Amino acid sequence: MGLIKRLKIFVMEKMRKTNGMHYYKKYKQSQWGSQQQLTSSQFKKLTELISHAYKHVPYYKDYMEKAEIEPKDIISLKDLNKLPIVDKAEIKLHKREMVTNNIEDYNAAEKRTGGSTGEPLKYYVPKLSHSLMWANLWRGWSVTGYQPGDKIAILAGGSLLSGFDVKRKLYYYLNNWIPFSSYNMSEKTMKSYVRKLKKGNVKFLYGYASSAYELANFMIKRGESIQLDGVITTSEVLFPHYRKAIEMAFTCKVFDQYGANDGGVTAFECEQHEGLHIGMERCLVEIVDEEGNSVPDGVEGRILLTDLSNYAMPFIRYEVGDYGAISTKPCPCGRGLIRFTHIKGRQQEFIYSAGNRKVHGGFFSTTFRQYDAIEQFQVIQDNVGEVRVRLKLSDSRFEQNIERIRRRILEQAELNKVNLEITDNFEKTRGGKHKFVINNVSD
């Protein structure tokens, strides 16, 4: 790694008060440990986390006392089912009791989920968790040949690119990121993205799966291609036709990733492309059926996450809202990390503007998550250029802001019509999940 790259990473880590490079180097080694070693380390971290929760987190202390459970009763990973499954609704209801009573010891910061299920969540994470997130992210990227500090284009929305003010531009510069907003995928904008990729000596692209696919399709239709070393997709389901088009346009392999920082998980596809390796050093993953019972390897179920590093606000057996399956079979690559065989859920969809361009669903997540009074939302499109937006409010006084928000959506998403409705009723998927964007317009 060059001196300039090292210096930029050093300054960037100082700015965000993380130590990601230290753990990245450790994780580059630990991934090659045996599955037994990694699982043993997980259990040790789990018992320490549960002991902490029992002593310092009112929610878990109360639950365990009522259930007559003590930390010493957790003698294997299977015993984790003695503790409750928690979801966003439960965490919101008991947020104060779920925060450790010695939070000042953990240099914790308040974070928000992106609200991809329509329910943004505020939570606390210590700086250690933030460092481990970066270590896991970089490790996943490194499969493409990427090294921390290499130039990389980021094609995304608010969950990854949160603004373009002076501070954020400095942050992107220090990370050596070339930011491409996924909100505006017009022909003019995509031409500029292609031009920057060609002239900027960029070898890697990281972005939303659907946005990378949209850009790839644009290039293919124009008879263009660019030679990259790797494309890393995230945040959405990577469909086979997405992968095929992206690999054709960028003449390289696509490596899919999955992350849920609230649950502490990052998973990445290796060179074998046979599932996504789970960052076991930070997160324990369970798959359960609708009744909460563990399912065998390869069987699809609800994904539960336990962040082994978050002592500020422990997320133990957290239901992130996705479905998937795991495999403990050894991967041909030699890594000891277990794998997701597949993941369903959190697929952010597009709506169509009046000009028939696609507006990424993340636009609505970013718009609504800044308002605490908006508890839940759902966007429905039946006709091009028109949307219906359903909002659930925690404070009726917030209704005075609705017209201003409606005009903002109308203008920024380039729509002809936006209807806002205050309601508690939302359409659900067959699995009973909330879908935050429903597009009924045929592609």
pLDDT value of position 298: 94
* CB-count exposure of residue 404 (10 Å: 0-12, 13-18, 19+): exposed
Q: Give domain status of residue 71, yes or no.
A: yes
Q: In which residue are the tokens 């003019």 written?
A: 188
**pLDDT tens-digit profile of 270-320?**
999 999 999 999 999 999 998 999 999 999 999 999 999 999 999 999 998
Residue 393 has pLDDT above 70, yes or no: yes
Q: Give domain status of residue 21, yes or no.
A: yes
3-state SS assignment for residue 248? helix
Looking at residue 277, what DSSP letter applies? E
Q: How far apart are CA 77 and CA 437, in angstroms?
A: 37
Task: Examine the domain organization and report whether 323 and 416 are in the same domain.
Answer: no
* CB-count exposure of residue 199 (10 Å: 0-12, 13-18, 19+): exposed
Task: Examine the domain organization and report whether 322 and 184 are in the same domain.
Answer: no
Q: What is the CATH number of the domain that holds 80?
A: 3.40.50.12780
Domain count along the chain: 3
Q: Give domain status of residue 139, yes or no.
A: no
pLDDT value of position 143: 98
Geometric angle at alpha carbon 112, from 130 and 438, rounded to 5°: 125
Task: Examine the domain organization and report whether 178 and 275 are in the same domain.
Answer: no
Q: Give domain status of residue 173, yes or no.
A: yes
Last residue of a domain, one of 198, 232, 252: 252
The answer to whether the CB of 373 falls within 8 A of the CB of 393 is yes
Query: How many C-beta atoms lie closer than 10 Å to residue 112's C-beta?
Result: 16
For the segment 388-407, the average pLDDT, to the nearest whole number, is 91
Computed over every residue of the chain, the mean pLDDT equals 90
**pLDDT tens-digit profile of 128-164?**
999 999 999 999 999 999 999 999 999 987 666 766 6
For the segment 28-55, the average pLDDT, to the nearest whole number, is 97
Range of the domain at 198: 145-252
Task: Examine the domain organization and report whether 117 and 25 are in the same domain.
Answer: yes
Q: Give domain status of residue 413, yes or no.
A: yes
Tokens for 416?
Answer: 């002809």
The answer to whether the CB of 178 falls within 8 A of the CB of 154 is yes
Q: How far apart are CA 212 and CA 252, in angstroms?
A: 13
For 294, residues 6+ apart whose C-beta sits below 8 A from its C-beta are 78, 81, 286, 287, 288
Q: What is the CATH number of the domain that holds 200?
A: 3.40.50
> Between 3-16 and 166-175, two packed helices, what is the crossing angle to 10 degrees?
140
Last residue of a domain, one of 293, 317, 344: 344
Task: Examine the domain organization and report whether 319 and 382 are in the same domain.
Answer: no
Q: Give domain status of residue 266, yes or no.
A: yes
Helices (H), 17-126: 20-30, 35-56, 58-66, 88-93, 95-98
For the segment 215-235, the average pLDDT, to the nearest whole number, is 94
Q: What is the CATH number of the domain that holds 383?
A: 3.30.300.30
